[in-house]
Amino acid sequence: MKSPDSLAAQLTRQWHSANHREHLLLDPQAWPRTVPIGSPSASVFTQQTAMVREHIARWRAVTVGDVHWQDVTFRSAAEPVSLPQHWLLRSPEEFSEASGDAQVQLELQRLRYLLDRIDSRFNSLLVRQRALWRDRDDDEVVQATRLAMMLEPGIAAGRPLRALALAGIDSKFMERHRALVAALLDIRFDGQASQLGLNSFLDAADEGEHWLLVVPLSPGLLPFAQQRVRARELRDAPLPANRILLIENDRCLHLLPTLPDTIAVLGSGLDLAWLRADWLRERHLGYWGDMDTWGLRMLARARELQPHLEPQLMNQPLFDAHADTLAVPEPINAGPIPPDGLTGIEQTFYRHLLDQAKGRIEQEFLPQSAVIDVLSRWA
Q: Of 77, 105, 133, which residue sits at a domain end?
A: 105
Please give the share of the chain, as a percent, with pLDDT higher than 90. 73
If asked whether residues 72 and 182 sit together in one domain, one would say no
If asked whether residues 235 and 354 sit together in one domain, one would say yes
* Pairing status of strand 284-288 against strand 310-311: parallel
Q: In 116-204, which residue ranges form alpha helices assigned H by DSSP?
A: 123-128, 138-150, 173-176, 178-188, 192-196, 198-202
- pLDDT, tens digit, 9 for 90 and up, residues 287-320: 999 999 999 999 998 999 999 999 999 999 999 9
The sheet carrying 284-288 orders its strands as: 227-230, 211-216, 262-266, 243-247, 284-288, 310-311
Q: Of 83, 105, 127, which residue sits at a domain end?
A: 105
| Its pTM surpasses 0.75 | no
Please tell me what DSSP assigns to residue 365.
G
If asked whether residues 32 and 86 sit together in one domain, one would say yes
Residue 201: pLDDT over 90:
no
- pLDDT, tens digit, 9 for 90 and up, residues 94-126: 999 999 999 999 999 999 999 999 999 999 999
Rounded CA separation 337/145 (Å): 26
Model pLDDT, residue 78: 73
- pLDDT, tens digit, 9 for 90 and up, residues 209-262: 688 999 999 999 999 999 999 988 898 899 999 999 999 999 999 999 999 999
Rounded CA separation 65/89 (Å): 5
Domain count, the chain: 3
Backbone angles phi, psi at 68, to 5 degrees: -95, 130
Q: Of 62, 77, 105, which residue sits at a domain end?
A: 105
If asked whether residues 180 and 241 sit together in one domain, one would say no
- pLDDT, tens digit, 9 for 90 and up, residues 137-146: 999 999 999 9
Residue 175 domain boundaries = 117-202
Is residue 111 situated within a structural domain? no
Is residue 68 situated within a structural domain? yes
If asked whether residues 242 and 348 sit together in one domain, one would say yes
Read off the pLDDT of each residue in 172-184 and give the average, rounded to a whole number.
Answer: 93
Backbone angles phi, psi at 127, to 5 degrees: -65, -40
